[in-house]
Amino acid sequence: MGKKAGILLFFAAYLFLFSSCPSLPPPEINPDLKITEVGSMYYADAGSWIELYNSGSTDIQLSQYKIRTHSVMRTSPYSYMGINTFSLPSLTVPPGAYILVRGNIVSYLTNGARIVYILISPNTVPYWEDLGFVELMQYGQTIDFVRFGSDTTTPTTEGWAGGSAPALPNSAADYGKSLARDGSNTDTDTEADWTVHSYGTAGGPNDVTSDLDADLDGIPDCSEVSGSTFAGLPLYDWGARTGQKDLFIHIDYMQSSDPGVTPRKEALDKVVAAFAAKNYYLHFDVGNLYGSGPSNHNLDNTSHQVPFNQAAALGIYGSAANLYDYKNTYMNLAKKQIFHYMLFAYSQELDGSGGSSGIAELNGNDVIITLGNWGLTTTPTTSLNQLINYQAATVMHEFGHNLGLRHGGNEDMNYKPNYYSIMNYMYQLNGLPTIGNANEGDRYYWYRYSRVDAFSALSKFKQYLPTGNFTDLHNNCTDDPSVFKMDYSNGNGGPLDEALVNEPNGLQRSGSAPIDYNGDGDGADTNFDMDLNNDTGRSNFTDYDDWSHLNLFFVRTHYGDLSGISSPAVLRIWSDPVGNDRQEVIVETLTAPKLD
């Protein structure tokens, strides 16, 4: 008898014996996995989210369960695909753990320790509006169920005895809201278990008891008082207070010997001080890098050092590390609704070369700082000063994009001399000049000499920068951080018309000193035409009140909470430059300056 025939005979005998035995018992159902929260959404290509909780005392294997709900085509045209059942991937859910199940809005998203993405190939994802339902199933049986709004869908087997829970908020400004159980996860299988919340607590207990946010910082006041928590996070213990605007940033940093990649406490202190001067309270969490407690920017008392990759990107870019993978793996999921995520990485260039100092989402919540291979050292004093000042200025600049600021404030127009802000490339790494100083215009001279001279033969500007180096600037990046000036603009500068340049008005601010824009040596010329920012056009440059226009509450819009709006005009050209969250990204082109 041949080998193949023998195998077939064996299986025939096995099937005969199996069929003659009594029926095997059905697999055991585990009802301990619960639906505890359902996130609001609006756009069809957003990543819907469902929070699940293991209420039992043993591990649960997620792949034994499925999600049944309404669905939509994730790509245009966004066609309704009816009710579908989605398989869940393999993931161990420990007792007492919360996880998120999200629609896989782009095909290459990777699951994290407490987050998984679901899709019916090729393009069907979960979707609901103000009405809908979510059913958790195991082996064909209903384990948990919630129906909301005017939806009338019934569970597959049993487990729902009431009507419909309240409708979810449904508009472009209603992201970050949710339908949730109470803090005890009460489960009576009726609509009475569910309440609409203005502050979703994805990834943690539903412990927000009030929607009041009198200080308008995006954190409910009830989570800013002693003894309270937000999704289990002790925000009060970490510095949040009612009556003040609080912002939180989680920082991870790659393991590297390059000092540009490890955050300096002095740099973070400087950014905190800049915000505090305008009554904004910024709280960094860099783990146990410097010591214990919030004064050392340590909120969770864990290591925030993450594996090295010589390149990093917001999404998929060749062999670069994907920020969103790092975020899903290393940041506590409960922080998602409150914390911005900042990764101190080495470079954005695949070869590890010293390119742009950072990149960030606009009106989003994710930032990469890339000061590796910039030649930065910890050698006292000027080299260390430069390291601290570069880190501080870049963090404040990139975080400004998260808060809604562009390189021209409310516009993408860069190098406007009168836009007196760290968001302006003219001032990002060099810092802000002192208004009224005789050298008030030296940042402009540096820009013309170092970045324009090669193209337009403006060597006459070298008279203002004898060595052609940023060390010629007053209050420059190699000075003590206490005199390095960085700020967002207060909008008090007047307009600067390139068709009618007036040198005596300097940077168009009160007390400004004259600036020799045309380089003829006197700073006294008026009403002349000149392309000041070298964009070949003529514009009337305006200042912008940055501080009055900061968007503190990133989760409330499509930009920050879920999947964002892509604008190809400002995106770096990658296969999909923003992967997970897909917010609009501000491209940075400023690279390491020459140090000689």
* Strands of 339-480, DSSP E: 339-345, 358-361, 366-370
Do 192 and 218 fall into the same domain? no
Q: How far apart are CA 106 and CA 123, in angstroms?
A: 9
Q: How far apart are CA 462 and CA 170, in angstroms?
A: 58
Would you state the structure tokens that stand for residue 272, as one six-digit string?
Answer: 């905190």
Do 188 and 69 fall into the same domain? yes
Judge whether 410 lies within some domain. no
Instruction: Give the chain's domain count.
Output: 4
Q: How far apart are CA 592 and CA 372, in angstroms?
A: 10
Do 106 and 61 fall into the same domain? yes
Residue by residue, pLDDT tens for the chain (596 residues) are 443 344 334 434 444 434 445 555 667 899 999 999 999 998 888 889 999 999 999 999 999 999 999 999 998 889 999 999 999 999 999 999 999 999 998 766 778 889 999 999 999 999 999 999 999 999 999 999 999 999 999 999 988 998 999 999 999 889 999 999 999 999 999 999 999 999 999 999 999 999 999 999 999 999 999 999 999 999 999 999 999 999 999 999 999 999 999 999 999 999 999 999 999 999 999 999 999 999 999 999 999 999 999 999 988 889 999 998 999 899 999 999 999 999 999 999 999 999 999 999 888 899 999 999 999 999 999 999 999 999 999 999 999 999 999 999 999 999 999 999 999 999 999 999 999 999 999 999 999 888 776 555 566 788 888 888 888 999 999 999 999 999 999 999 999 999 999 999 999 999 999 999 999 989 999 999 999 998 999 999 999 999 999 999 888 776 665 433 333 223 332 322 222 333 467 767 655 543 33
Q: How far apart are CA 394 and CA 423, in angstroms?
A: 9
Question: How far from the centroid of its chain's Cα atoms is residue 351's Cα?
Answer: 25
Do 343 and 487 fall into the same domain? no
Judge whether 236 lies within some domain. yes
- Non-local (6+) Cβ contacts of 16 within 8 A are none
Check which CATH number belongs to the domain holding 574 and give it.
3.40.390
Check which CATH number belongs to the domain holding 99 and give it.
2.60.40.1260
Do 540 and 437 fall into the same domain? yes
Do 524 and 538 fall into the same domain? yes
Do 169 and 234 fall into the same domain? no
Question: Which range of residues forms the domain containing residue 234?
Answer: 214-243
- Non-local (6+) Cβ contacts of 214 within 8 A are 221, 242, 243
Judge whether 13 lies within some domain. no
Judge whether 581 lies within some domain. yes
Do 166 and 225 fall into the same domain? no
Judge whether 9 lies within some domain. no
Judge whether 544 lies within some domain. yes
Do 122 and 79 fall into the same domain? yes
Across-strand partners of 37? 51, 180
Do 311 and 435 fall into the same domain? no
Judge whether 283 lies within some domain. yes
* Residue whose tokens read 């050292």: 377
Judge whether 425 lies within some domain. no
pTM over 0.85: yes
Would you state the structure tokens that stand for residue 403, as one six-digit string?
Answer: 């808060």
Question: How far from the centroid of its chain's Cα atoms is residue 309's Cα?
Answer: 20
Residues counted in the chain: 596
Do 186 and 43 fall into the same domain? yes
DSSP string, 472-506: GSTT-TTS-TTT------BS-PPPEETTSB-GGGT
Do 300 and 193 fall into the same domain? no
206, 232, 260 — which closes off a domain?
A: 206
